[in-house]
Structure 1
Amino acid sequence: MKVAIEEGNPCPHDEIETGFNRYAFGCVVVACVITIIFGYDTGVMSGAMIFIKEELLINDTQVEVLAGSLNLCALVGSPIAGRISDYIGRRYTIVLASVIFLVGSVGMGYGPIYTVLMAGRCTAGIGVRFALMIAPVYSAEISSATHRGLLSSLPELCIAIGILIGYISNYCFGKLTLKLGWRLMLGIAAIPSLILAAGIMRMPESPRWLVMQGRLADAKGVLLQISNTQVEAEARRSRIKSAAGIDENCKDDVVEVRSVTSGGQGVWKELLLRPTPTVRWILLAAIGIHFFEHATGIEAVILYGPRIFKKAGVHSKDKHLLATVGVGMTKMAFILIAMALLDRVGRRILLLASTTGIVFA
């Protein structure tokens, strides 16, 4: 497939041959394991809360605080994650997220009392925010422009996969004893966290981050791995250098290593205090889409699925948990459909179609 080289390239009318790069796809898949873990934690908690309430004898308010504390702690971790990823890189930030999530999972799985369970949940919440901030960034920076829509949507697919696995885990482990079942549901997430921390170290760093560090030779090596041709790699490197404010004719071995903090000076002021009309529209669209996506209440449906089905007249615990598996399968199926159409139909058309569906639902 031939596409024109994007803006920032000195020869915008040239064409380069692009195609699906399996190595880049593999890198994104590995990075997205952290979002599977997040999805699992969200899905599994919906069923685990039933058994936690029964064993620890906590009231509804404590259950709600336990469920909502993940998002509250994730909010605290948001500003930290981006800054840390600029300092230590995307790869090491994903490793850090895995370790934090591992500690939180062990704490929740152990959970002899409500306080310990809450501490584990809050720790996992910080790891979740790191994951949700960095996995999409890494995916976008590894992907080529022609497949960025597909690869950047993988984190969302992996969240849906994780939610489905969490629902299935509820159904399976719910058949064990009360004391053991919910602890296995929550604690087993520590295993993939440990595997991810080891696996991500075999993946390359983001080429964009390497360029921002002045490591142009390293960035070139990564781009050659995640591009199909040398021409494509050079075109992508040219665009990244232009965005970073590095002279196109500057040689790889003479660029001074920068402090990444200088690259972000004035960004928040530009966004919030004196945005250009274009930036203002982009900011409004980005905030609006994300806010109303969550304001629909779909996360509450996912998190409180078993209780909703109980209120609807489904009284068996097994049937509560089995019904949520159907919700998880539906969610994953339609994300797969959206991914297949994303780079063909376009983002706006799919967004309008999904919004219409939400209104009717």
Structure 2
Amino acid sequence: MEMVDQRAENNVVSGQPQNSIADFDPPKKPKTKKFAVACAVLASMTSILLGYDIGVMSGASLFIKENLNISDVQVEVLNGTLNIYSLIGSALAGKTSDWIGRRYTIVLAGTIFFIGALLMGFAPNYAFLMFGRFIAGVGVGYALMIAPVYTTEISPASFRGFLTSFPEVFVNVGILLGYVSNFAFAKLPIHLNWRIMLGIGAIPSVFLALGVLAMPESPRWLVMQGRLGDAKRVLNKTSSSEEESQLRLDEIKEVAGIPKDSKDEVVQVSKRSQGEGIWKELLIRPTPAVRHILIAALGIHFFQQLSGTDSVVLYSPRIFEKAGITSYNDKLLATVAVGFVKTIAILVATFQVDRFGRRILLLSSVGGMVVSFTLLGVGLTVIDQSHSKVPWAIGLCIAMVLFIVAFFSIGLGPITWVYSSEIFPLQLRAQGCSMGVAVNRVTSGVISMTFISLYKAITIGGAFFLYAGIAAFSWVFFYTLYPETQGRSLEDMEVLFGKYHKWRKANALLDKTKQVDHGFGDDNKAQIH
């Protein structure tokens, strides 16, 4: 890393330009460890809970509206408040996971969602249904925060991107299952179908909670508790070699303030390692590197949801209806296609994230979304302004909905969770990720609860033009602030962002040097150097 910093400084002196943050190129990856993959899969499967809820509500809300005779505003509140409720779970999950461990926090998430799903399934009225949504939302908040953290902490750096994409994979699997559930139970009596759709979500949470008990605890959490012997045994199982295991342990010990030469099975750790002073270090007096990390983590969560993809997923039956598909059966069948495309796209991203890196997938994804949102807005506007069916516009709308979810799933969807869960320093990771999830859920809740009102106010085509503009702005934000983290160890992230901070200052100094040289000559250039 010193070479990167020195190169930036030397280039300023020599006047050589800095081309891009691609200078931070990662090392090559070794062979995958199957045990680490198995642990990541089990932990990430908790994300099915959120995905299933998103998918199933897109269709169930059609029947709930008719059966309980509720308004469009109540539908928006029903769909969006789970994201707001999940703030409670994500806020508690950081401290809970530092207290009882990452593994038991995953079990707790599954248990809470199980209770919420049962309550929704047996809801006799709208108020009781909202109470069930509250309980389920808390469980979702726990799951959203803890699954990426555990997966990140147990994964070797060489294929961490592959493994930490799994939570988003299972969100998409859950969405697909929710869409299939809509289609499968749609023909049941209206007082029964939506209750079965919602209540059946309790079943996977039981198996997930039991399966997680077979997983080991996070090695980084074990080190934070001073349990070096247990951490070493877990690292041996999740590393490709004994040397890699020892290297990972030494890096974690250094960050936790434990001497590298300590051979004890159990040691005393500082209060800082156990979580004290985190908020001061994260928010009140952050270093430039930590401040950059915080902006990057919160920013990617914010723009992931503000781009409006949740509106496409959650309200796809309404979008298809606006595009000219009128029957319940056809609308729900079209949403199954959306879920299928999302799942295939996320699988492609999962296997490519450690090959191409985070940055190129993120920028390609958002760029594709900008184009797709724009064309969807065009198609819907044409249909809205026409007095007869326009087959090409209907086809364009259906295709662009599929392209939006595909582009989202190859980059912005999984990279958000990969990036935000890997860049925080060890002591700040749980609380930092918790803040990221909070931003994610608040933004998602606002988008989900305003979509119907938004398209009624500015037309449905106008709503997607707005989302296209937001996505374009986010592309510039990502291009400017996000270095490549592929292949870096978790303990190296603060150094990487610190170097990147200096690198940006070096570029700014070089630009200033060029301006002075251009305007005032060599004497002033020498003063800048």
Give distance in 2, aligned partners of 1:193 and 1:254: 34
Tell whether the 8 Å contact from 1:16 to 1:232 is kept in structure 2 after alignment: no
Deviations along 1:161-181, whole A, 9 cap, x unmatched? 110111111111112221221
3-state SS of paired residue (1:265): coil
Tell whether the 8 Å contact from 2:29 to 2:158 is kept in structure 1 after alignment: no
2:344 equivalent among 333, 355, 358: 333
CA displacement at 1:240 relative to structure 2: 1.1
3-state SS of paired residue (2:188): coil
1:143 equivalent among 147, 155, 167: 155
Within the alignment, does 1:278 sit opposite 2:281 as a pair?
Answer: no
3-state SS of paired residue (1:263): coil
Within the alignment, does 1:36 sit opposite 2:48 as a pair?
Answer: yes
Which moved further from structure 2: 306-315 or 83-92?
Answer: 306-315
Counterpart for residue 327 of structure 2: 316
Within the alignment, does 1:130 sit opposite 2:147 as a pair?
Answer: no
Distance 1:180 1:279, change over 3 A: same
3-state SS of paired residue (2:31): coil
Larger Cα Rg: Structure 1 or Structure 2?
2
Give distance in 2, aligned partners of 1:240 and 1:278: 19
Give distance in 2, aligned partners of 1:286 and 1:316: 42
Gaps in structure 2 of 5+ consecutive residues? 1-26, 373-529
Q: Which amino acid aligns with 2:49?
A: I
Counterpart for residue 263 of structure 1: 274
1:344 equivalent among 338, 355, 365: 355
CA displacement at 1:290 relative to structure 2: 1.6
Which moved further from structure 2: 222-231 or 110-119?
Answer: 222-231
CA displacement at 1:77 relative to structure 2: 2.2
Deviations along 1:130-151, whole A, 9 cap, x unmatched? 0000000010011111010000
Counterpart for residue 20 of structure 1: 32
Counterpart for residue 81 of structure 1: 93
Counterpart for residue 58 of structure 2: 46
Q: Which amino acid aligns with 1:229?
A: S
Distance 1:17 1:172, change over 3 A: closer
Give distance in 1, aligned partners of 2:303 and 2:287: 24
Counterpart for residue 106 of structure 2: 94
Which moved further from structure 2: 76-85 or 204-213?
Answer: 76-85
Q: Note the 1:70-219 alignment, pairs <5 A.
A: 70-219=82-231
CA displacement at 1:32 relative to structure 2: 1.3
Counterpart for residue 368 of structure 2: 357
Counterpart for residue 316 of structure 2: 305
Deviations along 1:274-331, whole A, 9 cap, x unmatched? 3322222222222222211111111111111112211222110011111111111222
Gaps in structure 1 of 5+ consecutive residues? 1-14
Distance 1:232 1:51, change over 3 A: same
Tell whether the 8 Å contact from 1:160 to 1:332 is kept in structure 2 after alignment: yes
Tell whether the 8 Å contact from 2:229 to 2:266 is kept in structure 1 after alignment: no
Give distance in 2, aligned partners of 1:227 and 1:281: 30
- Aligned positions, number: 346
TM-score, normalised with respect to structure 1? 0.92
Deviations along 1:191-241, whole A, 9 cap, x unmatched? 111111111111101011011011111111111121232222111111111
Could you say what the CA RMSD is over the residues aligned between the two structures, in angstroms?
1.8
Give distance in 2, aligned partners of 1:16 and 1:46: 42
Q: Which amino acid aligns with 2:206?
A: L
Tell whether the 8 Å contact from 1:39 to 1:160 is kept in structure 2 after alignment: yes
Tell whether the 8 Å contact from 1:43 to 1:166 is kept in structure 2 after alignment: yes
3-state SS of paired residue (1:101): helix
Distance 1:185 1:16, change over 3 A: closer
Tell whether the 8 Å contact from 1:34 to 1:196 is kept in structure 2 after alignment: yes
CA displacement at 1:34 relative to structure 2: 0.8
1:55 equivalent among 53, 67, 72: 67
Counterpart for residue 4 of structure 1: none
CA displacement at 1:266 relative to structure 2: 3.0
TM-score, normalised with respect to structure 2? 0.63
Give distance in 2, aligned partners of 1:253 and 1:182: 53
Within the alignment, does 1:251 sit opposite 2:263 as a pair?
Answer: yes
Give distance in 2, aligned partners of 1:49 and 1:176: 15
Give distance in 2, aligned partners of 1:254 and 1:64: 52
CA displacement at 1:360 relative to structure 2: 0.9
Counterpart for residue 11 of structure 1: none
3-state SS of paired residue (2:285): coil
Tell whether the 8 Å contact from 2:317 to 2:335 is kept in structure 1 after alignment: yes
Tell whether the 8 Å contact from 1:27 to 1:203 is kept in structure 2 after alignment: yes
Give distance in 2, aligned partners of 1:177 and 1:132: 33
